[in-house]
Amino acid sequence: MPGHEGLPQGVDPDKASVARMYDAMLGGQHNFAIDREALAAFTAIDPQVRTLARANRAFLRRAVRFLIGAGVRQFIDLGSGIPTQGNVHEVAQEASPGARVIYVDNDPVAVAHSASLLADNPHADIVDADIRRPQDILSSPQVGKLIDFEQPVAVLMITILHFITHEEDPAGLVAAFRDAVPEGSWLAMSHATNQDRPDTAAAVGKLYRSRATSPVTARSRDEILALFDGFDLVEPGLVHVPLWRPDPEDPVPDNPREYWVYAGVGRKGR
């Protein structure tokens, strides 16, 4: 049902949504004027923000294809956002039609569009939940139906943990999902860094604190690396997002540090 000023119920009319802003970065249509205004302010800080968003999305697709190749057939995509081209279930099920995917988000627009998209897909579903409460996700009926915790699971945390503050314990959230999945499971993560372009990261952090539904906490490479505790990174390790196993046709930037997001994929050991 519509809410204030025609916005869906549950949408804060005074705040841009991080999910809808990302949709706008990727050229999607499921965003509002307040989101586009915040994105314009972001673009004034970093004119290549759309390029960075596309590079991050390309990393997600490459990571899913890698994980399918590694034998994974079930995925939990945390903070999945609004559906756009190259969604996890599309990439995974193209390679393996029976692959099972759980999406997780708490943005009303993201949840509604995901539910609509997945209505006829028996192997994918959306959980309306906040990743700050892992047990709500892990105990949900959707996860109980689709995810077999006796088999490897890929947990995807793609540009989501930098929306978790230090006080909200991002390492503890990763550990909750790590401990729930069996040996041989995987973690794919991308995360904004304050190490390469600290002034840009600080300005973006200030923007999100004042205008968006969640603040941004960019972290150093070492801090991001520590979030992979319990997972063994595969080559090439933790690298700038366009450098993680690029496809032959992918452009390799002359200055990867301009892409101030790190990416990596790790396998849970004993």
pLDDT in tens, 105-138: 999 989 999 999 999 999 999 999 999 999 999 9
Tell me which long-range contacts 222-227 makes (C-beta under 8 A, separation of at least 24). 224/189, 224/191, 224/193, 224/262, 224/264, 225/264, 226/171, 227/161, 227/170, 227/171, 227/174, 227/189, 227/191
pLDDT of residue 200: 94
pLDDT tens string 235-263: 999 999 999 999 988 878 889 989 999 99
pLDDT band of 2, cuts 50, 70, 90:
very low
pLDDT band of 3, cuts 50, 70, 90:
very low
pTM, rounded to two decimals: 0.94
pLDDT of residue 1: 34
134-161 average pLDDT score: 98
C-alpha 52: how far from chain center: 13
- Two tokens, residue 110: 């993201």
**What is the rounded distance in angstroms from the CA atom of residue 246 to the CA atom of residue 194?**
23
Q: For 51-69, give one letter per residue: b (16+ CB within 10 A) or e.
A: bbbebbbbbbbbbbbbbbe
Contact between residue 134 and residue 167 where contact means Cβ atoms under 8 Å apart: no
Partners of 189 in the beta sheet?
157, 264
